[in-house]
Copies of this chain bind each other. A is one copy, B any other.
């Protein structure tokens, strides 16, 4: 019932054409995404915008869920908690590593560690919960 990386990339391109997230890898345990950082993602002072980090984490969990339960069900985010830990680099891509920590019948929980590419210091940490619609198609 899970989806392959190729299926997910095609689905995301069709349904969420506006996202700049790139799926680096995905399996039934989690996903790794990257996101370029440019003028659109930066705030005065060279800080990566907080909403960009939240958005990348949100998409990372969404992709990991597709990798686990397949493309049919349209899960929706029900809650998201982000802790901002360090100032990300303004010159490196953001890397989001998502692990699914619960895959229930109605609720899925994912955890995401966000990094500036090339650094092992986490810049932000996210926990997100997603609701699975009662009847899967």
Contacts and interface: CB of A to CB of B under 8 A. Distances in A.
Interface of A: 15-16, 43-44, 50-52, 54-55, 58, 76-86, 101-102, 105-107, 109, 111, 122, 125, 127, 129, 131, 134
This protein's copies in its complex: 4
| Most-contacted residue by chain B among A51, A76, A84, A101 (CB, 10 A) | A51
Given A16-B43, A51-B55, A79 B131 contact: no
Contacts of A125: 101, 109, 111, 127
Which has the most chain B C-beta neighbours within 10 Å: A86, A102, A131?
A102
For the residues of A in contact with B, the DSSP-based class is strand
Contacts of A82: 79-81
Top 9 A-B pairs, shortest CB-CB distance:
A51-B55, A85-B102, A81-B81, A79-B83, A51-B51, A54-B54, A80-B82, A50-B77, A83-B109
